Structure 1
Amino acid sequence: MRRKFANIYRLGVKELWSLWRDPTMLFLIIFMFTFAVYSAATASPESLHRASIAIVDEDSSPLSQRIASAFYPPQFVKPVMIAPAQIDPGMDAGVYTFVLHIPSGFQRDVLAGRSAEIQLNTDATRMTQAFSGSGYIQQIVLSEVEEFRTRYRGESSLPVRLELRARFNPTLDKSWFGALSQIINHIAMLSIILTGAALIREREHGTIEHLLVMPVTPFEIMLSKVWSMGLVVLLAAFISLQLVVRGALGVPVAGSQLLFFASAALVLFATTSLGIFMATIARNMPQFGMLSVLVLLPLQMLSGGTTPRESMPEFVQNVMLVAPTTHFVQLGQAILFRGAGIDVVWPQMLAVTAIGTVFFVIALRRFRKTIASMA
């Protein structure tokens, strides 16, 4: 038994040295846990952020000035006052996403109760901002006009009032969700790629034949790849969580990091086994890359990390219960977002352990057959 553990340890160290000499994989690890996490958290295309807007004020009235002053960061940059002749050149050059044209006599028509119109020009090539921004601008303009007309700023009195309290993310900052979700997704994704690439790399370099003449078993070879690549992913995720998520982005972590990484270790046991299984099917790295696309995309999109599982068809929800990433997303979000303890997430941890055991056994059998065919 001591010899087995020694073999597993030494083979794992060999995998770490092989990874250290692979600049492509090192770059992938650094990129996914730094820039990819940061960009996913800060880039929120579904929200309006610093949209450029220009205003043509031909009325020059207190009402038009009030409307112009209602646009401010972070939704909009400071409005630029331009002349009518500058509308088309500015939008053609992509300088302005929105141009609000307030005609002469606008305030007079509003106070007189006559129909008053404002023209909003939108650059629809910026589709997401154009869609959400048009609604923002319409709401802002109507609100300012109504408050100016009634000389009152406030809410109408209703018999029922809804008090909104946001839990776990009181400022409704989307970067909190994006950053932590990327950490969860990348742990599963990168572990599959690293273990599969490690086995493919040995086959392409011919070192797998060297292992066959050594006094090691397929179980020891496979387990060495599991612990070494899993350790790399855990270390990269820990550094990313501390430096990128908590440091650069300032995102608080509600729950126990120890519990989260312990759960991640269970998930890595399953995903690394899946990576080895895929590597035994693929004959070279391009084939493994194509196979990874077919596996990673459904795991990422249907596990609940990108789209809530509740919005998916019931059949898809049931099928994805056999995926370890589905349970990892649930327990990861519960721990990091809501501060859940082991008394809450133990069913997901138990499910991940069972799935990982099945995946490891299946991958080990496939790996033994592959080794036997090469002997």
Structure 2
Amino acid sequence: MNRRLRNIFDLGVKELRSLRRDPVLLFLVGWAFTVGVITPGRGAGDASVHNARIAIVDEDRSALSERIADSFYPPYFRPPRNIPLSAAEPLMDQGEITFVLVIPQGFERDLIGDRSDVQLLVDATRMKQAGIGAGYIERIVRGQVKEFLEKTRREAPVTADLVVRTKFNPNLVPAGFQGLVALINHTTLLTVLLTGAAVIREREYGTIEHALAMPITSVEIMLGKLWATALVMTAVVITSLTLVVRGVLDQAIAGSLPLLVTGVVIYLFAATSIGIFLATVARTMPQLGLLAVMVVIPMNMLSGNNTPLEAQPVVLQWLMQFSPSTHFVSVAQAVIFRGATLAEVWIQLSVTAGIGVALFLLALLRFRSSMAAARG
């Protein structure tokens, strides 16, 4: 037993030394867990409204229309421009304005008479802001109209009000959430690539033949690669959570960090097994990269990390229960955002571990067959 443990330890150290001599992979890992997390967290791909350009065509010139115009201010909107109606279309065609709010003449008078309309023109080519921005503007106008009617003692005919209270992320700031989505996605991709690259590297360098001539088993070789990759990925994930997510993106982790790290370690066991299995199928690094894209992207996209699992077709929901990423995402979101404890996530952790064991055995069978073919 001591000899087996020593072999596993030495093989893992060998993998760490090989990774240290690979500057491309080191750069990829460093970039993915720093810039690759900060960029989406800081707003790349963010669909929220920020510094939107709005113009107002105020044909009413009433106190209410002025109050509505004064309701648009940073950081959501730039100070609105007052323009004539004839200038609205040219400015939108030139890309200088995204929203044009048209307040018709007699708006305040007609509103007191219980009927009045405003028009909102939207440049829909700015897809990331058009839909959400229109909703913002509608709420702002409705709020001012309701307040005006209350002051004139003519209540709007509303029988019920919908009050929304956001429990988690009450300010609806997407920075931390998007950064954590990227962190989880990069963890899956880099784990598969690092483990697979370790196997492909040995085959290309011819060191697999040296391993075959040594008194070591396939299980020891796999476990050596597994613990080395898991150690590296766990270290970079903890560093990224502490320095990037908490420090740069200012996203608090509501739950226990040790519990989250435990979930990461269990998930890495499954992800490294996937990497070894793919490396036994691929013969070169380009083939491994293509296989990783075919496997990792669906795992990331359908795991509930980008789109809620319940919003997907029932067949996909059923199939994704066999993916370790689905259960890991559930654990990570529960611990990070909702402060879940072990009593609330132990089932997902157990399922992730079970899937990891199954993937490890499958990868071991494939790895043994490839080793036997190499001996022959």
Tell me by how many angstroms 1:226 deviates: 0.6
Equivalent position amino acid for 1:73 in 2: P
Give 2:259's aligned residue. Answer: 259
Q: Residue 211 and residue 93 in structure 1: after superposition, are their counterparts in 2 closer, same or farther (change >3 A)? A: farther
Give 2:151's aligned residue. Answer: 151
CA contact (8 A) 2:55 2:97 kept: yes
Equivalent position amino acid for 1:6 in 2: R
Tell me by how many angstroms 1:2 deviates: 2.2
- Identity of paired residues, percent? 48
**Is structure 2 residue 75 aligned with structure 1 residue 74?**
yes
**Is structure 2 residue 185 aligned with structure 1 residue 185?**
yes
Deviates more, 1:145-154 or 1:244-253: 145-154
Which secondary structure does the structure 1 equivalent of 2:278 belong to?
A: helix
Question: For 1:303-342, what aligned pairs fall within 5 Å after superposition?
Answer: 303-342=303-342
Give 2:270's aligned residue. Answer: 270
Tell me by how many angstroms 1:90 deviates: 3.4
Q: Residue 272 and residue 95 in structure 1: after superposition, are their counterparts in 2 closer, same or farther (change >3 A)? A: same
Question: For 1:17-36, what aligned pairs fall within 5 Å after superposition?
Answer: 17-36=17-36
Equivalent position amino acid for 2:239 in 1: I
Tell me by how many angstroms 1:61 deviates: 3.9
Deviates more, 1:192-201 or 1:165-174: 165-174
Equivalent position amino acid for 2:56 in 1: I
- What is the TM-score of this pair, normalised by structure 2? 0.88
Tell me by how many angstroms 1:106 deviates: 4.3
CA distance in 2: counterparts of 1:120 and 1:111, whole angstroms: 17
Deviates more, 1:293-302 or 1:124-133: 124-133
**Is structure 2 residue 260 aligned with structure 1 residue 247?**
no
Equivalent position amino acid for 2:138 in 1: Q
CA deviation digits over 1:316-350, x for unaligned, max 9?
22222221111111222222222222222221222
**Is structure 2 residue 282 aligned with structure 1 residue 282?**
yes
CA contact (8 A) 2:149 2:155 kept: no
Equivalent position amino acid for 1:296 in 2: V
Tell me by how many angstroms 1:147 deviates: 3.8
Give 1:15's aligned residue. Answer: 15
CA deviation digits over 1:264-308, x for unaligned, max 9?
111111110111000100111111111112111221122221222
Q: Residue 342 and residue 140 in structure 1: after superposition, are their counterparts in 2 closer, same or farther (change >3 A)? A: closer
Q: Residue 159 and residue 150 in structure 1: after superposition, are their counterparts in 2 closer, same or farther (change >3 A)? A: closer
Tell me by how many angstroms 1:199 deviates: 1.3
CA contact (8 A) 1:45 1:129 kept: no
CA contact (8 A) 1:106 1:117 kept: no
Deviates more, 1:160-169 or 1:336-345: 160-169
Q: Residue 6 and residue 148 in structure 1: after superposition, are their counterparts in 2 closer, same or farther (change >3 A)? A: same
CA distance in 1: counterparts of 2:153 and 2:334, whole angstroms: 41
CA distance in 2: counterparts of 1:37 and 1:189, whole angstroms: 14
Question: For 1:207-218, what aligned pairs fall within 5 Å after superposition?
Answer: 207-218=207-218
Question: For 1:160-199, what aligned pairs fall within 5 Å after superposition?
Answer: 164-199=164-199
CA contact (8 A) 1:110 1:149 kept: no
Tell me by how many angstroms 1:64 deviates: 3.0
Q: Residue 345 and residue 116 in structure 1: after superposition, are their counterparts in 2 closer, same or farther (change >3 A)? A: closer
Tell me by how many angstroms 1:177 deviates: 2.9
- How many residue pairs get aligned? The number is 374
Tell me by how many angstroms 1:131 deviates: 2.3
CA contact (8 A) 1:109 1:115 kept: no
Give 1:100's aligned residue. Answer: 101
- What is the TM-score of this pair, normalised by structure 1? 0.88
CA distance in 2: counterparts of 1:115 and 1:142, whole angstroms: 13
Equivalent position amino acid for 2:49 in 1: L
Equivalent position amino acid for 1:80 in 2: R
Structure 2: 5+ residue runs without aligned partners? none
Structure 1: 5+ residue runs without aligned partners? none
CA distance in 2: counterparts of 1:334 and 1:73, whole angstroms: 33
Root mean square deviation of aligned Cα = 2.8
CA distance in 1: counterparts of 2:5 and 2:274, whole angstroms: 22
CA distance in 1: counterparts of 2:108 and 2:340, whole angstroms: 59
Tell me by how many angstroms 1:165 deviates: 3.6
Q: Residue 165 and residue 112 in structure 1: after superposition, are their counterparts in 2 closer, same or farther (change >3 A)? A: closer
Deviates more, 1:56-65 or 1:111-120: 111-120
**Is structure 2 residue 360 aligned with structure 1 residue 360?**
yes
Deviates more, 1:51-60 or 1:145-154: 145-154
Give 2:124's aligned residue. Answer: 124
**Is structure 2 residue 88 aligned with structure 1 residue 54?**
no
Equivalent position amino acid for 1:55 in 2: I
CA contact (8 A) 1:147 1:153 kept: no
